[in-house]
Chains A and B, each alone.
Chain A
Amino acid sequence: MNAPSMRTASLAILRRDLVLAWRRRSDIAMPVLYSLIVTMLFPFALGPEDTLLQRIAGGVILVTVLLAMLLALDAMFASDIEDGSLEQLMLAPQPLALMLAMKILAHWLTTALPLIVITPLLAAMLHLPAAIIPVLLLALLLVTPLISLFGAVLVALTAGTRRSGMLLALMLLPLCVPALIFAAGAVAAAQQGLPWLAPISWLAAVLVLALVLAPLACAAALRIALDS
Chain B
Amino acid sequence: MANWIPLWLHRLSSPPTFYRFAGTLRPWAMGLAIALGVIGLYGGLVLAPADYQQGDAYRIIFIHVPSAWMSMFIYAVMGVSAFIALVWRIKLAEVVAMESAPIGAAFTFITLVTGSLWGKPMWGTWWTWDARLTSELVLLFLYLGVLGLYHAFEDRRQGARAAAFLAIIGIINVPIVHFSVNWWNTLHQGSTVNVFGHSKMAWDMLWPLLTMTLATKFYYAASLFRRAQTDLLDLESGKDWVRTIARSEDER
Footprint of B on A, CB under 8 Å? 153-154, 157-158, 160-164, 167, 170-171, 173-175, 177, 217, 220-221, 224-225, 227-228
For A163, A174, A175, A227, the residue with the greatest tally of chain B CB atoms inside 10 Å of its CB is A174
Q: Which residues of A contact B152 (CB under 8 A)?
A: 158, 161-164, 167
Q: With A and B bound together, what is the CA distance between A160 and B162 in angstroms?
A: 9
Give the contact stretch, choosing among B8-16, B66-74, B139-147, B198-206. B139-147
Q: Which residues of B contact A160 (CB under 8 A)?
A: 153, 155, 158, 162
Q: With A and B bound together, what is the CA distance between A154 and B145 in angstroms?
A: 10
In contact, A171 and B149 (Cβ under 8 angstroms): yes
Q: With A and B bound together, what is the CA distance between A160 and B86 in angstroms?
A: 17
Q: With A and B bound together, what is the CA distance between A221 and B149 in angstroms?
A: 12
Separation in Å of the B29 CB from the closest CB of chain A? 32
Task: Tell whether B26 is near chain A: CB-to-CB under 8 Å.
Answer: no
Q: Which residues of B contact A163 (CB under 8 A)?
A: 152
Q: With A and B bound together, what is the CA distance between A163 and B169 in angstroms?
A: 22
Q: Would you give 13 A-B contacts (Cβ < 8 Å), ordered by A?
A: A158-B149, A160-B153, A161-B153, A167-B145, A167-B148, A171-B166, A174-B145, A177-B134, A221-B165, A224-B86, A224-B158, A225-B162, A227-B158
Q: With A and B bound together, what is the CA distance between A167 and B148 in angstroms?
A: 7
Q: With A and B bound together, what is the CA distance between A78 and B129 in angstroms?
A: 36
Separation in Å of the B184 CB from the closest CB of chain A? 11
Task: Tell whether B34 is near chain A: CB-to-CB under 8 Å.
Answer: no
Q: With A and B bound together, what is the CA distance between A168 and B15 in angstroms?
A: 32
Task: Tell whether B138 is near chain A: CB-to-CB under 8 Å.
Answer: yes
Separation in Å of the B163 CB from the closest CB of chain A? 8
Q: Which residues of A contact B142 (CB under 8 A)?
A: 174
Separation in Å of the B59 CB from the closest CB of chain A? 31
In contact, A224 and B141 (Cβ under 8 angstroms): no
Q: Which residues of A contact B141 (CB under 8 A)?
A: 170, 173-174
A160-B153, A171-B149, A174-B141 known; A228+B158 contact, CB < 8 A: yes
Q: Which residues of B contact A171 (CB under 8 A)?
A: 145, 148-149, 166
Q: Which residues of A contact B155 (CB under 8 A)?
A: 160, 228
Indicate which residue in B153, B162, B170 contacts A221 across the interface (CB closer than 8 Å): B162
The 5 closest A-B pairs by CB, nearest first: A174-B141, A171-B145, A161-B152, A174-B138, A157-B162
Q: With A and B bound together, what is the CA distance between A90 and B206 in angstroms?
A: 56
In contact, B145 and A170 (Cβ under 8 angstroms): yes
Beyond A161-B149, A167-B152, list 18 extra A-B contacts (CB 8 Å): A153-B169, A157-B166, A158-B149, A160-B155, A160-B158, A161-B152, A167-B149, A170-B144, A170-B145, A173-B141, A174-B141, A174-B145, A175-B169, A177-B134, A221-B162, A224-B158, A225-B162, A227-B158
Task: Tell whether B217 is near chain A: CB-to-CB under 8 Å.
Answer: no
Nearest A residue (CB) for B142: A174
Q: With A and B bound together, what is the CA distance between A163 and B151 in angstroms?
A: 11
In contact, A157 and B144 (Cβ under 8 angstroms): no
Nearest A residue (CB) for B163: A157
Separation in Å of the B170 CB from the closest CB of chain A? 8
Separation in Å of the B167 CB from the closest CB of chain A? 11
Task: Tell whether B161 is near chain A: CB-to-CB under 8 Å.
Answer: yes
Nearest A residue (CB) for B131: A181
In contact, A224 and B165 (Cβ under 8 angstroms): yes
Indicate which residue in A170, A175, A220, A228 contacts B165 across the interface (CB closer than 8 Å): A220
In contact, A177 and B138 (Cβ under 8 angstroms): yes
Q: Which residues of B contact A220 (CB under 8 A)?
A: 165
Q: Which residues of B contact A227 (CB under 8 A)?
A: 158, 161
